[in-house]
C-alpha cells in the first residue's frame, strides 16, 4: 500500500508576520490614540493604494538610495508594466495631491494614513519585509510651525501611550542653495577615502555624496567619521528656519537633541529632518522618522509646494508599548448557559438582540453540560451568567448570576432582554 504523501504546511513569507488576537487589541488602541490626536489637530485621513508605478518611487525616494537600489518589491505585471509594492507613503500622497489637484482648492492640506509598507530587507527583530507605518503630512506650509507641530504630535502621541523613553533627534539638510558649498567641502574627503568606500558608495560619491554619509557599511562609516556636516553650511534662510524650529520646540517643552550626523535614507528631504529614537529597541532604535521635502511636489509635476511629514514604525511602536502597558483583554459582559434545543434557540435570539445593543454576549452553541459551561464562563472572565435549562423553561424564569458578587436573581423569560439591558446600563453609569 502506498503511503499518503504528507504535504508540508505552508508557512508565511520570510519577513512577513501575522498580528494575532492578543496583539491586535494593542494595535487598535495605538491606532485609536493616533487618529484622535490627528483629528484634533485638523488632519484628515487619506487612503492610497499599496502598489504604484515603480517610477514614482524611483523618482521621489531617489535612484541612489538603499530603498530603491536594494529593497523594493518590483515586478512586471502581465502586460509588462513595472509596478512596486509601496516602501513608504509620502510619494503616493504627493502623487494623489497632484493628480486630484488638491492644491487648487487649498494648497494647505493635512493628511494621515495608516497601513502596510514593503521593503526587502534582512529580517530581524524590529525589521520586517511587510511592516506598518502611521504617517502624517502637511502640505503648503513653509513656516517652521509645521515642523514643530509634527514633532510635537509625535511627542504627545508617545506620552499618551506611556512611552517616555524617547528623544527627538533633529538636523537640517539645507536646501539646493546650501548643497554646492557642502559638496565641495565633502569632495576632497571622499576622494581621499576612495579606497575605504564600498562599491556602492564609490558610485554614489560624485552623484549623490549625502548618501555616502548614510551608508551603514562599517568601512564607510569609519571613513566618514570626520566628515563635515551639512548643518554647518546652511544658507541664511535655512539657518533662520532651523533656529526657529529649535526655539519653538523649547517653547512647547519638547525635548530634542541636535544630531549633525542625521541624514535619512531618502533623497527628497530638505531642511528639517528628524528621528525619534528610543533605547527600548536595541539595534533598531528609530521608532519614527520624517522631514521636510520642499522640492518633491514640484519634481513630481505639481506646483512648487513646501511640505513635511513623518512615518512612525507601527510594529516597533507596538513592541515598545506592549512592554510598558499591561495587556487589556476584552471579556464578555454576559455568558448564557443554555441547555437543550428549545432553551438554546431562545438564548440564540437573545444573544443576537443583546449583541446588537452593545452587550458582549457569549452563547455556547455546542452541546455541553451546565458544569462545563460554568467553567467556560469563568475562564472567559464573564461578569454575569444567565442560566436557562429545562427547569427554568418550565418555571418561566431564567437565573442571572453576578459572578463577582456571587449573587443571583430570577428574571421572567419575556423580560430577559429588557432587564439585562437595564442591568448593563446601570453598570455603565457607575
Instruction: Give the interface with ligand ATP as residue ranges (CB under 6 A).
Output: 88, 119, 121, 126-128, 131, 133, 265, 284, 286-289, 311, 313, 315-316
Closest residue by beta carbon to ligand ATP: 313
The residue (of 224 and 334) whose beta carbon lies closer to ligand ATP is 224
Chain centroid offset of residue 257 CA: 24
* Maximum CA extent, the chain: 95
Cα–Cα distance for residue pair 89/127, rounded to 1 Å? 17
The residue (of 102 and 138) whose beta carbon lies closer to ligand ATP is 138
Minimum distance, C-beta of residue 284 to ligand ATP, in the bound complex (Å): 5
Minimum distance, C-beta of residue 187 to ligand ATP, in the bound complex (Å): 25
The residue (of 130 and 244) whose beta carbon lies closer to ligand ATP is 130
Q: What share of the chain is helix, strand, coil (3-state, %, to 5)?
A: 45, 20, 35
* CB 321, CB 332: distance < 8 Å: no
Minimum distance, C-beta of residue 38 to ligand ATP, in the bound complex (Å): 17
Q: How far is CA 395 from CA 168, 392, 412, 415, in A?
A: 68, 5, 9, 14
The residue (of 137 and 315) whose beta carbon lies closer to ligand ATP is 315
Minimum distance, C-beta of residue 116 to ligand ATP, in the bound complex (Å): 10
The residue (of 248 and 266) whose beta carbon lies closer to ligand ATP is 266
Minimum distance, C-beta of residue 199 to ligand ATP, in the bound complex (Å): 20
Cα–Cα distance for residue pair 266/131, rounded to 1 Å? 18
Minimum distance, C-beta of residue 185 to ligand ATP, in the bound complex (Å): 25
* CB 278, CB 313: distance < 8 Å: no
The residue (of 255 and 412) whose beta carbon lies closer to ligand ATP is 255
Cα–Cα distance for residue pair 137/320, rounded to 1 Å? 24
Q: How far is CA 184 from CA 25, 227, 236, 267, 323, in A?
A: 52, 12, 18, 19, 47
Amino acid at each position: 500500500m502506498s503511503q499518503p504523501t504528507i504535504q508540508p504546511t505552508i508557512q508565511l513569507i520570510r519577513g512577513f508576520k501575522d498580528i494575532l488576537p492578543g496583539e491586535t487589541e494593542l494595535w487598535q488602541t495605538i491606532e485609536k490614540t493616533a487618529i484622535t490626536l490627528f483629528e484634533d489637530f485638523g488632519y484628515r485621513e487619506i487612503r492610497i493604494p499599496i502598489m504604484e508605478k515603480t517610477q514614482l518611487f524611483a523618482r521621489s525616494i531617489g535612484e541612489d538610495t538603499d530603498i530603491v537600489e536594494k529593497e523594493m518589491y518590483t515586478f512586471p505585471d502581465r502586460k509588462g508594466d513595472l509596478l512596486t509594492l509601496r516602501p513608504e507613503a509620502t510619494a503616493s500622497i504627493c502623487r494623489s495631491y497632484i493628480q486630484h489637484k488638491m492644491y487648487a482648492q487649498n494648497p494647505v492640506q493635512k493628511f494621515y494614513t495608516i497601513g502596510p509598507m514593503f521593503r526587502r530587507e534582512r529580517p530581524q527583530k524590529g525589521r520586517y519585509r511587510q511592516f506598518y507605518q502611521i504617517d502624517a503630512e502637511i502640505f503648503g506650509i513653509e513656516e517652521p510651525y509645521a515642523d514643530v507641530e509634527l514633532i510635537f504630535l509625535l511627542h504627545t502621541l508617545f506620552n499618551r501611550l506611556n512611552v517616555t523613553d524617547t528623544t527627538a533627534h533633529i538636523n537640517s539638510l539645507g536646501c539646493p542653495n546650501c548643497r554646492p558649498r557642502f559638496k565641495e567641502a565633502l569632495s576632497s574627503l571622499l576622494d581621499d577615502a576612495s579606497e575605504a568606500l564600498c562599491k556602492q558608495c564609490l558610485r554614489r560619491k560624485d552623484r549623490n555624496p549625502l548618501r555616502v554619509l548614510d551608508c551603514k557599511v562599517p568601512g564607510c562609516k569609519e571613513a566618514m567619521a570626520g566628515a563635515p556636516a551639512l548643518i554647518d553650511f546652511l544658507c541664511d534662510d535655512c539657518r533662520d528656519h532651523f533656529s526657529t524650529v529649535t526655539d519653538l520646540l523649547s517653547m512647547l517643552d519638547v525635548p530634542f537633541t541636535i544630531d549633525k550626523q542625521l541624514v535619512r535614507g531618502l533623497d527628497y528631504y530638505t531642511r528639517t529632518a528628524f528621528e525619534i529614537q528610543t533605547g527600548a529597541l536595541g539595534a533598531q532604535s528609530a521608532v519614527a522618522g520624517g522631514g521636510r521635502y520642499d522640492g518633491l511636489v514640484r519634481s513630481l509635476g505639481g506646483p512648487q509646494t513646501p511640505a513635511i511629514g513623518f512615518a512612525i514604525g507601527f510594529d516597533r511602536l507596538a513592541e515598545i508599548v506592549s512592554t510598558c502597558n499591561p495587556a487589556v483583554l476584552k471579556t464578555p459582559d454576559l455568558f448564557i448557559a443554555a441547555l437543550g434545543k428549545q432553551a438554546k434557540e431562545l438564548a440564540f435570539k437573545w444573544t443576537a438582540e443583546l449583541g446588537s445593543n452593545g452587550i458582549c454576549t457569549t452563547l455556547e452553541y455546542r452541546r455541553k453540560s451546565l458544569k462545563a459551561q460554568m467553567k467556560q464562563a469563568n475562564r472567559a472572565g464573564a461578569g454575569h451568567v444567565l442560566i436557562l435549562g429545562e427547569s427554568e423553561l418550565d418555571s418561566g424564569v431564567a437565573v442571572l448570576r453576578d459572578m463577582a458578587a456571587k449573587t443571583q436573581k430570577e428574571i421572567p423569560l419575556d423580560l430577559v432582554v429588557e432587564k439585562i439591558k437595564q442591568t448593563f446600563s446601570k453598570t455603565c453609569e457607575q
